Structure 1
Amino acid sequence: MLESETTTPARDRDGDRMPDEERDDERADERDDERAEPRAPSRTRRRGLWALLGGIAVLAIGAAGGLYAVRDDGGGPAARASTLPTATVTRADMVNTTEVDGTLGYSGTYTVLGQGGGKLTWLPKTGAVIERGERVYGVDGEKVPLFYGSTPFWRTLQSGMTNGRDVLELERNLDALGYNDYMTVDRDFTYATTTAIMAWQKDMGLDQTGTVELGDVVMQRGAIRVKEVNAVLGDNVGGKVLTASGTERRITVDVPVADQNMIRDGAGVRVTLPGGATAAGKISSVGTVATAGDTNSQSQTGQGTQNATIPVYIALDDKGDKELLDGAPVTVGFTSTEHKDVLTVPINALLASADGSYKVNVVDASGNVTPVPVKLGIFDGDDVEVSGNLKAGMKVEVPRS
């Protein structure tokens, strides 16, 4: 017969034996205490907990819109796949421009005076272009044409007169207009000169006198454009008839003296016209007299000198646009810096850091993104010169606007 198992009697906290009912109640209380105070996790459970917290951190940063996922090994940003449009790193010549406001007009300003008496019976319209041999105005129903030359007529030109510069100017114009039969262009007034004058007068509908009186022609250096009509029909001839300019379109820009180092005769410029269209031009001439800035009583001492400007004249390369208005505002871009064969990226590919530095996000063939620090050069339009660990042909992210 087997011996029964010997059990140790349960005792209370004072060492006395406990009845069975009290012993069962004590065991129940111990189980409740275990549920209230959980055991410390094991090493394996701690590793799992940190991995879970790391995953939560990654998700939190992603939800906040951060650029990079946080690695759980303390090694810094992890590579990510690009989800943005890209642009190509290119090599190009970059030009930095300084823009200055200017005014579109025409070269030169000339005063046309009437001579010889009579009444004005015809006047041109503002904006009209008048060339050699064409009517400038009318007197007593007859045409007064334009001749080209630097020396005005000061006497009647006729047979038997002494030689002179005015004779040479007359014969040059007759020759240019096609009236040169047997006439030698020189300072001598000959029979051939008289014949040429009469042929020209016939075609003009004038009396064929063979002489040219004061007021029969208007002498200017070239073709003119009517800028303003100063007289009215019926006025007596003898004063200012009209104000004219040259026919070549020209832009006038007042450039600060401090920026004159960017101005060179013949240098190309970029002109922004009314409406936003652009045109190419060249510096045709530079003024030699500076104009002081605002010198009113409220200006500070020396401010007029600091704001002094010099006039710069720009000739447009395109001669075909007839719709540009005289006096229209334009913007001229002068080249201040030029860098050739440099790396460029779109400006909106740049990512600015809090310390003032910049980087671009390079996207490799697999679509992974790597931030690359860059230094900036000059800006040209929508692109910027960059230097850093880049090569032409690489792709960079361009955030959506």
Structure 2
Amino acid sequence: MTRGGLLAGAVAVLALAGGGVAAFALTGEAGTPSESASAAPTATAEITRSDLVDSKTVDGTLGYAGRRVLPNQATGTVTRVRAEGTLVRRGGWLYSVDGRPVSLMYGSIPMYRALSSGSDGKDVEQLERNLEALGYETGTVDEYFSWVTARAVREWQDDRNLPETGSVDASQIIIASGAVRIADVAVEKGDRAGQSVVTTTSTKRVVHIDLAASDQQLARLGAKVTLETPSGGTAKGTITAIGTVAEPPAQEGGDSTIDVEVTAEGKLGRLDQAPVTVDLQSERRENVLSVPVEALLALREGGYGVQVVGTGIVAVETGLFASGQVEITGEGLTEGMKVEVPAT
């Protein structure tokens, strides 16, 4: 298309603000700007080459994954509790009832029965693996509770000031998949032990986001994000879960939301339920030419163009819109060229 034809077809300069599109000026006869267009003040901006990223910063809440109210089977008076935030590993005590510690062991099978000489099953093997990891000799680790297993249990009980019965049950041991963090203590020393004494979490740091449903394109499983705390600390994260059901707005006129979970990588402190900001990226274009969005001209015959200083209007194909810039391709366009934009 000739320069004159493009000038005749240019109908407006677009200014994107708050998602709206406004006409800046109209042209007059072919090849000649109208009086209003000629009078409109203009400035210039460079065509740049860089990576273009569509992103948005949203609010999130930093916490820990795997929150669980631990069931309690010990009866009596609570005599010792851990401080909130304490990390408990295999063999460590979670709390004590009547002076007897309730200890943590690792596995996937809960203590649903008492284990003693003659017991047989996967839960026996799980117990033996824990005792062996804690330094007690159980013989061959298998599914049978032998006299050797009973001896190891008595040694373990002696070290923890428990009655040396050689058998164990849920009043002595609670099973978790790994180390836990004390998130909340439901009782104080001197209280009767109820259905639960402590709530725990895993040690995995996660960020929960109530993402507006209209922004759900920003959330992709496996996508990397950047996290920032109010103190200025930063870390990377990965989106590991996205809700499939939109929650209704919290207040009238608000947006529906979807739950998004980010697994944090790196150090973000030990605070629980702390506010963070999350930089989400939905799309990236690498090494592309771009101009400010307001440099675009809508052409009468369709599509867009840009007014290149010293050349005239050049038709362009647009790509990604991000951070006030738009990706463009067009004949003869190179990095560093100047294009006209409305003067501010």
Structure 1 length as normaliser, TM-score? Answer: 0.61
Q: What's 2:121 paired with?
A: 164
Match of 1:270 among 203, 226, 237: 226
Aligned-pair distance for 1:315?
Answer: 0.5
Q: Give the alignment of 1:343-354 within 5 angstroms.
A: 343-344=289-290
Q: What's 1:210 paired with?
A: 166
Query: Could you say which structure has the greater relative contact order, defined with CA pairs below 8 angstroms and 6 or more residues apart?
Result: 2
Letter in 1 for 2:101: K
Q: What's 2:242 paired with?
A: 286
| 1-structure distance, mates of 2:158, 2:147 | 17
Q: What's 1:35 paired with?
A: none
Larger radius of gyration: 1
Q: What's 2:269 paired with?
A: 322
Match of 2:100 among 119, 142, 147: 142
Are 1:147 and 1:217, in contact at CA under 8 Å, matched by a contact in 2? yes
The structure that is strand-richer by fraction is 2
| 1-structure distance, mates of 2:208, 2:233 | 18
Q: What's 1:340 paired with?
A: 286
User: Which 5+ residue runs of structure 1 have no aligned equivalent?
Assistant: 1-85, 363-368
Distance change in 2, residues 1:191/1:271 (3 Å): same
User: Which 5+ residue runs of structure 2 have no aligned equivalent?
Assistant: 1-44, 340-344
Aligned-pair distance for 1:321?
Answer: 3.3
Distance change in 2, residues 1:384/1:271 (3 Å): farther
The structure that is helix-richer by fraction is 1
2:51 matched to 1:102?
Answer: no
| 1-structure distance, mates of 2:90, 2:245 | 33
Aligned-pair distance for 1:351?
Answer: 7.6
| 1-structure distance, mates of 2:157, 2:321 | 63
Q: What's 1:174 paired with?
A: 131
Are 1:96 and 1:380, in contact at CA under 8 Å, matched by a contact in 2? yes
- Bigger drift between 137-146 and 309-318 goes to 137-146
1:211 counterpart SS class: coil
Q: What's 1:198 paired with?
A: 154
Distance change in 2, residues 1:269/1:231 (3 Å): same
Are 1:374 and 1:386, in contact at CA under 8 Å, matched by a contact in 2? no
| 1-structure distance, mates of 2:47, 2:161 | 71
Identical residues among aligned pairs (%): 36
- Bigger drift between 145-154 and 379-388 goes to 379-388
Q: Give the alignment of 1:201-280 within 5 angstroms.
A: 201-280=157-236
Letter in 2 for 1:321: L
Letter in 1 for 2:125: L
Q: What's 2:81 paired with?
A: 123
Aligned-pair distance for 1:381?
Answer: 6.0
Are 1:183 and 1:196, in contact at CA under 8 Å, matched by a contact in 2? no
2:133 matched to 1:183?
Answer: no
Structure 2 length as normaliser, TM-score? Answer: 0.71
| 2-structure distance, mates of 1:156, 1:254 | 43
Would you say how many aligned residue pairs link Structure 1 and Structure 2?
Answer: 295
Are 1:256 and 1:308, in contact at CA under 8 Å, matched by a contact in 2? yes
- Bigger drift between 284-293 and 115-124 goes to 284-293
